[in-house]
């Protein structure tokens, strides 16, 4: 059994030796993803897609609870439509893929395969919004988008990736701003309470905000290797798109007005964030709330009379209790099974053999800590539920400790350079708000602005770069 386990685990590079290779190894060995024949376009394998389905189910419930409806718009955008919003199209131009032929006929106009759908939604809204009674429009779309990235990595940077994109229209700027913040907070809630990933909430600088947006709000997470991951963004557009697309409505004052717009989205890169936040050198570690399998049952000495029947009875009990549970009755050795489900990050493993049956007990092994506990079969459902809750909380606390221990204030650019080189993480500094200082941080310290946090701290009176009066406290880091 030990030999089987060593063979499986030896296929993963230690994260301390090469974090990037460790990440790729986990994606492949945990059977989350596979490469296709087209560079940058990946295959989501059933286990990886099951994680995304759980994300969808949870987020979709959150969206619908706040009044949003799901729609589906075309994947092709006529070039003339895309050109209507200048800043937006310029921001996405390098990543656009174009369709120029329909069958054997060259098209009169190029069609862009959607990199995002603001322009399509605006065209649609121009057709269906006439009166203040038509507002707000609270729409969300689950789909894939295509961005012709030069480099690619599983989950983190695909040319085609899965996501949700919300697009809403409102009668007033205040309503749109409230919507932007509401969805931003939903993402923070999802990351912290379901993915066990603590976040820093803030607003992007003008340099880093979404193309065409007036303001972009972000939730930033810290990975195990101390790099940042932008986990989700919510954008306030004002009425800029509405003016470009001539979207108007008759207000209560019988005058024509332009509505105010938002968009917001998260993607399958969150799966990458999950791996890099919680994984270890034995593979994936999944928070119970999003794990496709919360408990795996491994029969011990399953060839002996009554063992499989007893394990099946536990399967049925846990299923009735609402646990996502799997019984592995395959003829693989228990050692192979232990390593397999450890690699896949299943939160809890249940072992039951003849000796356990005699004593009305089973063994529960936690994936996060490796701790094994002998528990009574009486009240097993409650024991499992409590242990899953403990695992969920424990993963969050461990990730929060990583974030807090590796976030530190710096007074000068030189201090940012020195401390980033030593330990990575997030540097907090005061900033004057000038683009020149933001660019200097990138060029000299190798960090980008992650966000202007909503919870501001007064670390001093002057900018860490230029010494001029400071306007904000900013988080800086190296990001995926």
Chain-centre distance of CA 87, in angstroms? 26
Q: Return the CATH architecture of domain 407-477.
A: 2-Layer Sandwich (3.30)
Q: What is the pLDDT of residue 3?
A: 44
Distances (CA, A) of 266 to 65, 143, 144, 229, 479: 18, 11, 11, 12, 16
pLDDT at 84: 83
Q: Are 428 and 408 in contact (CB under 8 A)?
A: yes
Q: Give the per-residue SS3 of the chain.
A: CHHHHHHHHCCCCCCCCCHHHHHHHHHHHCCCEEECCCCCCEEECHHHHHHHHHHHHHHHHHHHHCCCEECCCCCEEEHHHHCCCHHHHHHHHHHCEEEEEECCEEEEEEEEECCCCHHHHHHHHHHHCCEHHHCCEEEEEEEEEECCCCCCECCCECCEEEEEEEEEEECCHHHHHHHHHHHHHHHHHHHHHCCCCCCEEEECCCCCCCCCCCEEEEEEEECCCCCEEEEEEEEEEECHHHHHCCCCEECCCCCEECCEEEEEEEECHHHHHHHHHHCECCECCCCCCCCCCCEEEEECCCCCCCHHHHHHHHHHHHHHCCCCEEECCCCCCHHHHHHHHHHCCCCEEEEECHHHHHCCEEEEEECCCCCEEEEECCCHHHHHHHHHHHHHHHHHHHHHHHHHHCEEECCCHHHHHHHHHHHCCEEEEEECCCHHHHHHHHHHHCCEEEEEECCCCCCCCECCCCCCECCEEEEEECEC
Map out the domains of the chain as residue ranges. Answer: 16-278, 295-390, 407-477
Return averaged pLDDT per consecutive 10 residues of the chain, 480 residues in all: 47 94 97 96 98 98 98 96 76 87 96 94 97 98 95 95 98 98 98 98 96 95 97 97 96 97 98 98 98 98 96 98 98 94 98 97 97 98 98 98 98 97 96 98 97 97 97 97
- Give the class (CATH, top level) of 295-390: alpha beta
Task: Give pLDDT, residue 14.
Answer: 96
Nearest-CA neighbor of 426 among 407, 412, 453?
Answer: 407
pLDDT value at residue 11: 80
* Token pair in block for residue 303: 């060839």
Q: Which residue(s) pair with 105 in the sheet?
A: 102
Q: Which CATH number fits domain 16-278: 3.10.20.30, 3.30.930.10, 3.90.660.10, 3.20.20.60?
A: 3.30.930.10
- pLDDT at residue 2, as a whole number: 42
**pLDDT attached to residue 348:** 98
């Amino acid at each position: 059994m030990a030999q089987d386990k060593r063979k499986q685990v030896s296929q993963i590079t230690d994260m301390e030796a090469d974090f990037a290779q460790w990440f790729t190894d986990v994606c492949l060995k945990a059977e989350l993803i596979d490469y296709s024949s087209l560079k940058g376009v990946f295959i989501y394998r059933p286990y990886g897609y099951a994680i995304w389905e759980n994300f969808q189910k949870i987020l979709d419930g959150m969206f619908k609870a706040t009044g949003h409806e799901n729609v589906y718009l075309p994947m092709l955008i006529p070039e003339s439509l895309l050109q209507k919003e200048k800043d937006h199209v310029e921001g996405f131009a390098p990543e656009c893929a174009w369709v120029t032929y329909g069958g054997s006929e060259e098209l009169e106009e190029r069609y862009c395969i959607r990199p995002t759908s603001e322009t399509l939604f605006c065209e649609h809204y121009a057709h269906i919004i006439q009166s203040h009674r038509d507002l707000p429009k609270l729409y969300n779309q689950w789909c894939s988008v295509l961005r012709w990235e030069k480099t690619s990595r599983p989950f983190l940077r695909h040319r085609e990736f899965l996501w949700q994109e919300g697009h809403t229209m409102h009668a007033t700027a205040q309503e749109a701003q409230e919507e932007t913040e509401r969805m931003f907070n939903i993402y923070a809630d999802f990351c912290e309470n379901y993915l066990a990933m603590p976040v820093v909430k803030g607003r992007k600088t003008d340099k880093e905000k979404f193309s065409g947006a007036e303001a972009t709000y972000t939730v930033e997470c810290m990975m195990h290797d101390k790099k940042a991951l932008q986990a989700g963004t919510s954008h306030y557009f004002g009425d800029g798109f509405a003016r470009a697309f001539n979207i108007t409505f008759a207000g209560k004052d019988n005058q024509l007005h332009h509505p105010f717009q938002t968009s917001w989205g998260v993607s399958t890169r969150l799966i990458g964030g999950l791996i890099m936040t919680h994984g270890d050198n034995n593979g994936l570690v999944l928070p119970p709330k999003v794990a496709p399998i919360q408990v795996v049952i491994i029969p011990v000495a399953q060839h002996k009379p009554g063992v499989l029947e007893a394990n099946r009875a536990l399967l049925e009990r846990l299923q009735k209790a609402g646990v996502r549970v799997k019984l592995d009755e395959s003829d693989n050795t228990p050692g192979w099974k232990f390593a397999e489900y450890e690699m896949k990050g299943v939160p809890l493993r249940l072992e039951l053999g003849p000796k356990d049956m005699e004593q009305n007990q089973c063994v529960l092994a936690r994936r996060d800590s490796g701790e094994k506990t002998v528990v009574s079969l009486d009240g097993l459902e409650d024991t499992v539920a409590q242990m899953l809750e403990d695992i969920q909380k424990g993963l969050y606390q461990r990730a929060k400790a990583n974030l807090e221990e590796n976030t530190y204030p710096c007074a000068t650019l030189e201090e940012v350079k020195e401390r980033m080189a030593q330990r990575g993480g997030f540097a907090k500094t005061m900033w004057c708000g000038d683009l020149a200082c933001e660019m200097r941080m990138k060029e000299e310290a190798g960090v980008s602005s992650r966000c202007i946090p909503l919870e501001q701290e007064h670390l001093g009176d002057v900018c860490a770069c230029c010494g001029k009066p400071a306007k904000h406290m900013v988080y800086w880091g190296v990001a995926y």
